[in-house]
Amino acid sequence: NAGVMQNPRHLVRRRGQEARLRCSPMKGHSHVYWYRQLPEEGLKFMVYLQKENIIDESGMPKERFSAEFPKEGPSILRIQQVVRGDSAAYFCASSQGQGMDQPQHFGDGTRLSIL
């Protein structure tokens, strides 16, 4: 029963490096969402994508962050020139659609640590 797969589970980067986080949605799901969780906080929405399209990026920082969901392959969240404040858990979720009976299912996250 393949759920939402995220890799890597843990990622360590030095300040100024790039971080790439990958997410493969559940089979049959074409909607992907990225959330960020800082310590002791709830999850904060970042971006919502469908295949090859960004639908809503209202939660993405304006600089250094980008996301894609190509026709083939996983969704990628890319953070350029990382800073200490980027340290967080990044969760990906997927759903079949936007309907009320189609909840988002989450992966186990990528824990990003910036040295």
Partner 1 sequence: DQQVKQNSPSLSVQEGRISILNCDYTNSMFDYFLWYKKYPAEGPTFLISISSIKDKNEDGRFTVFLNKSAKHLSLHIVPSQPGDSAVYFCAASGYTGTASKLTFGTGTRLQVTL
Maximum CA pair distance of the chain?
A: 42
Is 33 near partner 1 (CB under 8 A)? yes
Closest to 105 measured CA to CA, from 35, 51, 12, 8:
35
C-alpha dist (Å) from residue 32 to 17, 40, 97, 101, 114: 25, 24, 10, 16, 25
For residues 79, 53, 25, 29, the Cα torsion angle rounded to the nearest 10 degrees is 160
- Judged by beta carbon, residue 79 or residue 109, the one nearer partner 1 is 109
85 three-class SS: helix
- Judged by beta carbon, residue 41 or residue 72, the one nearer partner 1 is 41
The interface mask with partner 1, positions 46-85, x = CB under 8 A, is --x------xx-xx--------------------------
Is 95 near partner 1 (CB under 8 A)? yes
- Judged by beta carbon, residue 95 or residue 114, the one nearer partner 1 is 95
Residues forming the site for partner 1 (CB under 8 A): 4, 6, 31, 33, 35, 40-45, 48, 55-56, 58-59, 91, 93, 95, 98, 100, 103-109
